[in-house]
Every structure is written in C-alpha cells, then in structure tokens.
C-alpha cells in the first residue's frame, strides 16, 4: 500500500507540478509580451505552422494586387470620387447613420455599429462611398443622424458644391464638437 501511495503521491505531484513549469505555454494568460514571445527554442514552430504563415503572406500580397486591379478597373482615377467620414472628439454627438446624396441621388445610407463609432472616435476615417463621377460641377448633401446633446435625437445636413476634374476626388465629411456652442458641427473638407 505504501508503494502505491508513493506512486499516487508522485502522480499527484506530477499532475500538480505540471502547470507550473508549463505555465508559459499552457493556461497562464501570459502578458502580450510573454504570450507572443515564447522563443522558438522552447516552442519550435512546426513545418505546418511555417507553411501556413507563408501562405497567409502570399494571400495578403495577392489581395493587395487584386484590390489594386479592382480599383483601377472599377474606379479609374480620372472619374473616381471617394467619400470619407471622420469624427473629431465627437462627445456631443452619438452617430447612428449617415445618408449621402450626390446630385439629388442617394448614393449611400450607412448604419454604424458601436465598434465602428468607437473606431471613428479613436481617429479612424471611414471610406463610406467610392464611385465614379463625370467631370464638372456637382452637389453633395450629407445627413447625419444620431443623438445630440441632452440625449435628443439629432439630424443635421451639410451641403457642398464641388468641381470634379480629371483627377480622383476625395471628400471628407467631418463631425466636430463646437465647444463654444456646445453643439456638434458638421462640415466638409475637399482633399483634392
């Protein structure tokens, strides 16, 4: 019985001790650095892993080339119009949706997810529309819907007339906070 007991104790020790040395690799939620950085000497990448990483790289590069082709084919630079939405601070306005009309025709109606709004708050700029436009004068009207100060529903529009030349045109619809008026402001920036 003593022998068995010892065996059991040793087994228990092995079981109990296992998580400790293997803490790096097993179920310890290692810090970003630790998790990402178990060196290959201790956790060698398998052949399959390496091939998968290589394939990921190849697919990323192929996607780049395909996206370039798609853009050149569908939205050539001489007719391209890209519309962006950005938010500067944005504490006075909780964005729900944006509607954009181009020459009286609705080109996009976009409903935002909380993750997208958060990304805009952090400085991301969303390309909300890309399309083609003839050279000449055009009118763009954007409607922003959401919650304004004091949790009131808020809908505001902004209009701009612009000339489309033979280069790609980038227009940014900006949501800003007017600290003086304690109201959100919406304006348009024409990049080129």
DSSP-assigned states of every residue in 172-190: EEEEEEETTTTEEEEEEEE
Q: d(Cα 109, Cα 100) in Å, to the nearest integer?
A: 7
Cβ proximity to another protein: between 39 and 152 the closer is 39
Measure CA of the first residue to CA of the last residue in the chain; give whole Å.
87
Is residue 116 involved in binding another protein (CB under 8 A)?
yes
Cβ proximity to another protein: between 8 and 155 the closer is 8
Burial of 9 (0-12, 13-18, 19+ CB in 10 A): exposed
- Figure out which of the listed residues 21, 104, 137, 150 binds another protein, where binding follows CB under 8 A: 21
Within the chain, what is the greatest distance between any pair of CA atoms?
96
Q: What is the DSSP letter of 149?
A: G
Is residue 186 involved in binding another protein (CB under 8 A)?
no
CA 4 to chain centre: 60
Cβ proximity to another protein: between 127 and 181 the closer is 127
Residues in region 124-183 near another protein by CB under 8 A: 124-127, 170, 172
- Figure out which of the listed residues 91, 109, 118, 163 binds another protein, where binding follows CB under 8 A: 118
Residues in region 40-59 near another protein by CB under 8 A: 40-41, 48-49, 51-53, 55-59
- Figure out which of the listed residues 86, 99, 158, 183 binds another protein, where binding follows CB under 8 A: 86
């Amino acid at each position: 019985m003593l022998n068995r007991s010892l065996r059991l104790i040793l087994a228990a020790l092995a079981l109990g001790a296992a998580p400790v040395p293997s803490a790096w690799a097993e179920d310890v939620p290692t810090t970003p650095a630790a998790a990402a950085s178990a060196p290959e000497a201790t956790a060698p990448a398998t052949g399959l892993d390496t091939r998968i990483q290589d394939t990921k790289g190849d697919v990323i590069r192929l996607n780049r080339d395909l996206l370039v082709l798609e853009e050149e084919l569908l939205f050539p630079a001489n007719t391209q119009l890209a519309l962006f939405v950005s938010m500067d601070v944005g504490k006075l306005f909780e964005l729900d949706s944006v509607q954009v009309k181009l020459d009286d025709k609705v080109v996009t109606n976009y409903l935002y997810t909380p993750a997208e709004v958060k990304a805009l708050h952090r400085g991301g700029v969303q390309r909300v529309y890309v399309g083609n436009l003839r050279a000449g004068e055009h009118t763009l009207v954007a409607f922003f819907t959401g919650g304004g100060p004091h949790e009131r529903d808020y809908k505001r529009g902004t209009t701009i007339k612009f000339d489309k030349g033979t280069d790609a045109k980038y227009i940014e619809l900006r949501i800003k906070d007017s600290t003086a008026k304690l109201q959100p402001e919406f304006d348009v920036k024409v990049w080129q």
